[in-house]
Chains A and B, each alone.
Chain A
Amino acid sequence: MESILQGVEGYMYPNEMELQWSILIVLYPYITGLVAGAFILASLERVFRVESVKPTYRLALLTALAFLLVAPLPLQLHLGHPERSLEMYLTPHTASAMAMFGFVYLWYLMAVLVLEIWLDYRKDIVQLAQTTTGPLRHVYRLLTLGSYDVSAEALHVDDRAGYVITLIGIPSAFLLHGYVGFIFGSVKANPWWSTPLMPIVFLFSAIVSGIATVMLLYMAIARLRGMEIDMRCVDTIARYLFYAFIIDFSLEMLDLIHRIYEADESFHTLDFMVKTRLYLPHVIVQIVLGTLVPLGLLALTQVVKLTDRARRGTYAVAGLLTLVGIFAMRWNVVIGGQLFSKSFLGYTTYKMEFATREGLLPAILLMILPFVILWVLVKLLPPWTDEKPGVQPAA
């Protein structure tokens, strides 16, 4: 009891002292964002025919799937009654943004991502089902879904269908993460959240984080496999990262400037919060380290001619900082939005626990889990179509 009352400053409504949403709810938009971003990067190749990012196409799809499978887990872990969560599908309240998210998620998972991956891998799966020995063979046989037709016509149909699904997939990915933004942006009781910009800010930050993740994964895996990194590919990805980041940063600054200039009833409270309790995560980590520095580094690669090695290093540092910055952004939205009283008269503190159900430990495990899933997926469905190092896979 004393621990909850500690760290409260000014006046909070009595029921507000306990924070409702923990670090797990920070993970939820973070992970969903990575999914949406990775998918959008993958669709660049497919729909917009950006050939140079092709080496990352399959990796991006598998990354999206690995993260998407984990996305509902932090929510599930956070619920007071996880055993009732299925009710969201069985008896949804249609006016609820959260309930509808369940359907958006399911649509995206089943109708877009899984289908697109399956179509793209079908030829490989059939091949693997015929060549693999041991118990894995049964897995591949199951994955073929009984279809062994890999004739030219069949593959052409797959390709067309895959194209159409990607076409549907892009707005779906926008919907998926825009919707996460809406879940926060539509809470009128909370001035830190309630802005129509929220979905679009979430969307662009998602694209930024997804692109950064795939870029880093690609470079890391290439190094691990002893392959040469395709610089044309990484340069292109970094350029897209830079563009998306500029839009994201502009939107966030627009929001900030608008708030400062309008200075409505909540401004004094929020301003004070950003200058005190949120100073480190918001100003230092999110804006300076997580946005301005990587933007500067990426800009540098655009204007100065650096060696391949220097560019790779710059991209790696910029990518990592980007991921830290976007995580800080999610943190500042979710946790920051609960640090002040809706009476605008006081503040509380978030005391993160460690080895509890909503503590730091499960959060870390949940962040590791997608990489484990990705490792399994990569083993099961190798994303590289060509084993020769550094060679462009055949189109």
Chain B
Amino acid sequence: MNQDRRDFLARSGKLLLLTGAAQVAFEAILRGEPAAAPNYRTADHWWGMIIDVEKCIGCGNCVRACKEENDVPREPFFFRTWVERYHVQEGDVEPPDVDSPNGGYDGFPERYRTNDGSKSFFVPKLCNHCARSPCVQVCPVGATFESPDGVVLVDKTYCLGCRYCVQACPYGCRFIDPRTKTVDKCSLCYHRITKGLTTACCETCPTGARQLGDLKDPKDPIREFLRTHKVQVLKPQMATGSKTYYNGLDGSVR
């Protein structure tokens, strides 16, 4: 009897404790903290992104969300992601007219007429998370590196601020954060994707023009998309192993 009671108390105690732990874990999941993805293994993932140029409406949601989520300086020359508007004249492909007022942060004011034979479209840009990154190659101390799951990251406590990587990026994706005097760039919202969430820009894109994808996950829709669409990367001649795939990319885009 005595034994039973002790047993009962021990069991109830464990149950209470476990329920409490589960409760804490669930709250953590809701907050999007590490407990939400305790089993994240870098070796199981290989991140990339698809951008559907046809779907982008130039609303600038992604730019605003990125700046908000990642505390990017608000000045118009610091962007982890930005949107460009291309305007190509009929029969006159080169050079295109390109603008990106405030990186597309405030959207795009009407500028071009639609019936003059020209075409206009928006191209979102971000770090291409190259598999053979020129920026990673040149960093003198290895402060910028490719993570095993295919994301190019920066260790801000290690960066010298020499700016060599900024020079080496062919896409203009890097800048020096004036507050920390270290380099900054798109981290593919690493703090989110390792918890099973998508990036801030993909989350807020109203048309699904940007989609994060795990190229190692056979069930990820990105695999199907890449199989069924003719995609292109930016500046393929740079041979950087870019993992940002554009669908419907016009030849005038650079």
Decide whether A and B are members of one complex.
yes
Measured between beta carbons, the chain A residues less than 8 angstroms from B169 are: 189
Provide the bound-state CA to CA distance between A342 and B171, in Å.
7
Q: How far is the CB of B123 from chain A (nearest CB, A)?
A: 11
Measured between beta carbons, the chain B residues less than 8 angstroms from A91 are: 141-142
Provide the bound-state CA to CA distance between A152 and B117, in Å.
90
- B 111-157 contacts with A by CB, 8 A: 125, 134, 137-142
Measured between beta carbons, the chain B residues less than 8 angstroms from A14 are: 76-79, 82, 100, 103, 172
Q: How many residues of A contact B (CB 8 A)?
A: 42
Contact with A342, one of B75, B84, B172 (Cβ below 8 angstroms) = B172
Say yes or no for B170: interface residue by CB 8 A criterion. yes
Of the listed stretches B35-43, B175-183, B192-200, name the one at the interface; the rest are far from the partner chain.
B175-183
Say yes or no for A84: interface residue by CB 8 A criterion. yes
Measured between beta carbons, the chain B residues less than 8 angstroms from A190 are: 167
Measured between beta carbons, the chain A residues less than 8 angstroms from B139 are: 93, 96
Say yes or no for B174: interface residue by CB 8 A criterion. yes
Say yes or no for B99: interface residue by CB 8 A criterion. yes
Known: A20-B167, A87-B158. A93 touches B141 (CB 8 A): yes
**Contact flags B213-254 to A (C-beta < 8 A → 1, else 0):** 000000000000000000000000010000000000000001
Say yes or no for B93: interface residue by CB 8 A criterion. no
Say yes or no for B164: interface residue by CB 8 A criterion. yes
Is A81 a contact partner of B98 (Cβ separation < 8 A)? no
Contact with B98, one of A11, A75, A95 (Cβ below 8 angstroms) = A11
Most B CB contacts (10 A, CB to CB) among A81, A85, A95, A99 go to A81
Is A342 a contact partner of B98 (Cβ separation < 8 A)? no
Provide the bound-state CA to CA distance between A14 and B100, in Å.
8
Known: A189-B170, A189-B238, A344-B254. A98 touches B140 (CB 8 A): yes
Q: How far is the CB of A285 from chain B (nearest CB, A)?
A: 24
Say yes or no for A226: interface residue by CB 8 A criterion. no
Measured between beta carbons, the chain A residues less than 8 angstroms from B168 are: 187-189
Provide the bound-state CA to CA distance between A335 and B123, in Å.
29
Is A95 a contact partner of B141 (Cβ separation < 8 A)? no
Say yes or no for A302: interface residue by CB 8 A criterion. no
Say yes or no for A80: interface residue by CB 8 A criterion. yes
Q: How far is the CB of A245 from chain B (nearest CB, A)?
A: 29
Provide the bound-state CA to CA distance between A341 and B171, in Å.
10
Contact with A80, one of B96, B137, B170, B176 (Cβ below 8 angstroms) = B176
Is B79 a contact partner of A80 (Cβ separation < 8 A)? no
Measured between beta carbons, the chain A residues less than 8 angstroms from B82 are: 13-14
Measured between beta carbons, the chain B residues less than 8 angstroms from A84 are: 141, 158-160
Residue of A nearest to B142 (CB): A93
Provide the bound-state CA to CA distance between A15 and B180, in Å.
16
Say yes or no for A64: interface residue by CB 8 A criterion. no
Residue of A nearest to B97 (CB): A11
Q: How far is the CB of B63 from chain A (nearest CB, A)?
A: 10
Residue of B nearest to A268 (CB): B95
Say yes or no for B212: interface residue by CB 8 A criterion. no
Say yes or no for A259: interface residue by CB 8 A criterion. no
- A 338-353 contacts with B by CB, 8 A: 338, 341-345
Say yes or no for B163: interface residue by CB 8 A criterion. yes
Provide the bound-state CA to CA distance between A343 and B160, in Å.
27
Residue of B nearest to A21 (CB): B163
Say yes or no for A1: interface residue by CB 8 A criterion. yes
Q: How far is the CB of B26 from chain A (nearest CB, A)?
A: 40
Provide the bound-state CA to CA distance between A75 and B162, in Å.
8
Say yes or no for B166: interface residue by CB 8 A criterion. yes
Residue of A nearest to B170 (CB): A189
8 smallest CB-CB distances across A and B, nearest first, come from: A80-B161, A13-B172, A80-B181, A189-B170, A99-B140, A93-B142, A11-B98, A20-B163
Excluding A15-B78, A344-B95, 5 further A-B contacts by CB distance (< 8 Å) are A14-B82, A88-B140, A96-B138, A345-B96, A345-B254
29 CB-based A-B contacts, threshold 8 Å: A1-B76, A4-B77, A5-B76, A11-B97, A11-B100, A12-B172, A13-B172, A14-B79, A15-B79, A15-B166, A17-B77, A18-B176, A78-B162, A79-B161, A80-B161, A80-B162, A81-B160, A81-B161, A92-B140, A93-B141, A96-B138, A96-B164, A98-B138, A98-B162, A188-B170, A341-B172, A342-B170, A343-B98, A343-B254
